[in-house]
A and B are shown apart, each in its own frame.
Chain A
């Protein structure tokens, strides 16, 4: 087995932003029990800026560390900036992942994209409701 980087172990040991956000502006849920990793990402958005992000994850060390890192990376970013965060960026911020664990970073990116999509859908719905 290839060992994890210090940064991965740091985020695994003390994951940042664990939990759920009440009344979130966007939620992204990805993964399934068959593949072994399940991530839920919650974001709060104000004036187009992500003000808070939290996660809940069932998964291995890399899954927990990438969840933690992605919540750190999106905070205080605009929605447009957050959309550009790739799985590679998450992995790089963690000092790299073992090749076999790169799919965990893909899952983190997917959770983020889904949360941002959810946010957009909600805001479109909200503005159309306001217009009506």
Chain B
């Protein structure tokens, strides 16, 4: 039986058409785009084509797109780069409790440097109330960073509203769009964002490349200094194959995204309904409607996530969990904690994230395999025994 990959939020396979576009950049178009000769200029041309594609995809101008090594770098560059450039204006940053670690860790780092960070809460569905952000703004606030959609529970945030508030107060607004870029329509002007991060390998592009959108006029310190590439905003020799691959992935998303959203949302809802119907004491995490088209996150009571994940893996199905037992820190998911899940349900969480190749048969297979796994694990769970007795 074929293996079923349902962990597309962790990473996606590189689309063969992307690989095809990248290949000549290793062996033929190998010039350094910073060189004046024909070899360099040919490569530069490819880079600028990709930049144009990315810019027009989100309603930006090419000068506003900076290529980076990925989402983590883009997020670090924003948090530290804005903090560094705006220190004279203030030392307060607003973000949320459910951001990716690539935002939270740089924020913790800045707290040690004397910055104040407000982590706004979320409701039980994982949604941020824009008024919480508004109330948190002080005359020291220099940056607001709120993710577009959460990577664990798929909650899609009211970015445009928060952006409007930020603009009204003259505070820079950044969104981490790693989970939505190429999956949901994005227009930086409609979303009212000044900065936006995205990563290539989450949209069938290559690993090791990402972008940072920086609205014209936004002042930030360069994150990597050196040869002055990207107009001095991010030094390092242009990753030509990666950038070209990113461009190709965006070109494909432009054409395929709309159908994909409909296709995936239908499969997502089928999987959610199926799990909730077939497995007693299970619940959906995140919002039923305001969620990524490909995200399913459930908690299954009386069983632990890693043991479900391993059993699914044995059955050829790949997914992920927010259980503490499965994290390097042995801490349960901060996102599931933020939506108020009790420990038992955090440990029993499973995330299935669907992708371009996911079929209805794949979903049927999960719905066939998972209930038996849960039953097996519950039969050896001391928690389930007590529940059944009471």
Contacts and interface: CB of A to CB of B under 8 A. Distances in A.
A binds B: yes
A2 B326 CA distance: 10
- Of the listed residues B305, B307, B314, B323, the one surrounded by the most CB atoms of chain A closer than 10 A to its CB is B307
B314 A60 contact: no
Nearest to A32: B343
Contact of B381 (A1, A9, A35, A57): A57
B71 interface: no
B249 interface: no
Nearest to A37: B325
B303 interface: yes
Most buried by B among A9, A20, A58: A58
Among A13, A18, A34, find the residue whose CB has the most chain B CB atoms closer than 10 A.
A34
Interface in B293-345: 302-307, 310, 314, 323-326, 328, 330, 332, 342-344
A19 B326 CA distance: 25
B332 A60 contact: no
A97 interface: no
Given A34-B343, A59-B325, A13 B380 contact: no
A84 to B, nearest CB: 26
Nearest to A2: B328
Contact of A61 (B306, B330, B382, B383): B306
B300 to A, nearest CB: 12
Contact of B306 (A55, A60, A103): A60
Contacts of A29: 382
A33 B325 contact: no
B45 interface: no
B347 interface: yes
Contact of A57 (B332, B347, B382): B382
Given A33-B344, A36-B343, A59-B304, A64 B380 contact: yes
A69 interface: no
A57 B304 CA distance: 10
Interface centre among B325, B384, B385 (most CB of A within 10 A): B325
B382 A60 contact: no
B92 to A, nearest CB: 33
A4 to B, nearest CB: 8
A60 B326 contact: yes
Nearest to A34: B343
B380 A60 contact: no
A15 B380 CA distance: 9
B304 A1 contact: no
Interface size class of A (residues with CB under 8 A): 20 to 34
A40 B328 contact: no
Contact of B307 (A20, A34, A61): A61
Contacts, number: 71
B310 A12 contact: yes
Contacts of A19: 380
By secondary structure, the A interface counts as mixed
B379 interface: yes
A75 interface: no
A61 B380 contact: no
A56 B306 contact: no
A60 B307 contact: yes
A58 B125 CA distance: 27
Contacts of B343: 33-34, 36
Given A58-B302, A59-B307, A61-B306, A36 B382 contact: no
A34 B379 CA distance: 21
Contacts of B310: 4, 9, 12, 61
B330 A18 contact: no
A50 interface: no
Interface in A45-70: 55-64
A38 B347 CA distance: 12
A15 to B, nearest CB: 7
A1 B385 CA distance: 31
A11 to B, nearest CB: 12
Given A33-B342, A35-B324, 9 more contacts: A12-B310, A33-B347, A36-B332, A40-B382, A56-B385, A58-B384, A60-B323, A61-B310, A63-B325
Interface of B: 302-307, 310, 314, 323-326, 328, 330, 332, 342-344, 347, 379-385
28 contacts: A1-B326, A12-B307, A13-B314, A33-B343, A33-B344, A33-B383, A34-B343, A35-B324, A36-B324, A36-B330, A36-B332, A36-B347, A38-B382, A38-B383, A40-B382, A56-B381, A56-B382, A57-B380, A57-B382, A58-B302, A58-B303, A58-B304, A58-B381, A60-B304, A60-B305, A61-B306, A61-B310, A62-B325
